[in-house]
Amino acid sequence: MKLTDQLLALLVAFIWGTNFVAIEMGLRELPPFLFATLRFVLVVFPLVFFLPRPAVAWRYLVAYGVLIGLGQFSLLFLAIQDDITPGLASLVVQTQVFFTILLSVVLFLEPVKRIQWLAIAISFCGLGVIAVYTDGETTVLGLVMVVGAAMGWAGGNLVVKKARPANMIAFLVWASIFSIVPLAVLSIAVTGIETSVDRIASLSATGWAVIVWQAVGNSIIGYGLWNILLNRYSAAVITPWALLIPVFGLVSSALFLGEPMPWWKVLAAFLVLAGLAVNLLSQKRSWTA
């Protein structure tokens, strides 16, 4: 990889990793479902008026929007609100890699190598450590919700794999329309219209900045740069950079939110990242299935 492309990959990992701190800051002013709704509203508008609808079936746009909006971000925001720290959330949600593999086996009958099963086992040992050592800041419920968010992300990955959109940004924008609807319904059901309007009206400049960053930085810039790199290089070259996402997530949470890093978090992080690393290694070497 060229040095400039390496720096772009590092920038994406930094954006996605530190974004968990931004989520925590946003949840201080907004309830989870309203926060997620506003995030996707800003992904859609005004870009939907400038980007033509991607040449994929409507069912792919609907499926991706529901899986990512309702499946990934609603659960992730809900968990970070009270049941898991942002640093651990950034780590656990990376299990989407393995759920993508498992769903590919079930839905597309794709073969899984023995080394990949080992990688899955190693990472899930890390989840086991988190489940055993849950404390007041991280609960079993929070762990389950983030694992559910990872499954939603994995489902979205498979939709993209099936749809193969030529313009990923346009696909994200149009699919996000179908994230807004279920999230808005949930937000109104839980928070109420009047309360939601009051919370939006009382948002600070920091709160609005966090929402804009969620849409522009995390979604449009992050995914845009990532897909440019995937078009230039093979997935085996680019995907290892994703290992830095939970590293930035844990470090930024410790620095800016004072999240403690006891030995069990370090062990869990090592196991999950080790499993991800073994899985990436399996893509580069020839193993018997």
**Angstrom distances, CA of residue 100 to CA of 9, 25, 83, 135, 167:** 21, 29, 25, 29, 22
Alpha-carbon distance of 131 to 138, in angstroms, equals 9
Alpha-carbon distance of 189 to 178, in angstroms, equals 18
Domain map (residue ranges) of the chain: 3-284
Least confident window among 5-9, 103-107, 172-176:
103-107
- In sequence order, what are the residues at sequence separation of 6 or more whose Cβ sits closer than 8 angstroms to the Cβ of residue 46? none
pLDDT in tens, 80-109: 999 999 988 988 888 887 888 888 888 877
Task: Give yes or no for residue 285 having a pLDDT over 80.
Answer: no
Task: Give yes or no for residue 2 having a pLDDT over 70.
Answer: yes
Closest to 157 measured CA to CA, from 40, 76, 63: 63
Q: How confident is the model at residue 289 (pLDDT cuts 50, 70, 90)?
A: very low
Task: Give yes or no for residue 3 having a pLDDT over 90.
Answer: no
Alpha-carbon distance of 140 to 128, in angstroms, equals 10
pLDDT of residue 147: 93
| pLDDT (mean) for 185-193 | 93
Q: How confident is the model at residue 234 (pLDDT cuts 50, 70, 90)?
A: low
Task: Give yes or no for residue 71 having a pLDDT over 90.
Answer: yes
Query: In this structure, are residues 86 and 257 in contact, taking their beta carbons and an 8 Å threshold?
Result: yes
pLDDT of residue 138: 84
Query: In this structure, are residues 61 and 171 in contact, taking their beta carbons and an 8 Å threshold?
Result: yes
| pLDDT (mean) for 171-194 | 94
Closest to 170 measured CA to CA, from 248, 14, 287, 54: 54
| pLDDT (mean) for 214-242 | 78
Q: What element of type H or E holds 215?
A: none
Mean pLDDT of the chain: 87
pLDDT of residue 287: 38
**Helix, strand or coil, per DSSP, at residue 287:** coil
pLDDT of residue 40: 95
Alpha-carbon distance of 220 to 43, in angstroms, equals 8
Query: In this structure, are residues 18 and 222 in contact, taking their beta carbons and an 8 Å threshold?
Result: no
Closest to 76 measured CA to CA, from 114, 129, 68, 254: 68
| pLDDT (mean) for 252-267 | 88
Closest to 154 measured CA to CA, from 75, 264, 266: 75
| pLDDT (mean) for 202-209 | 94
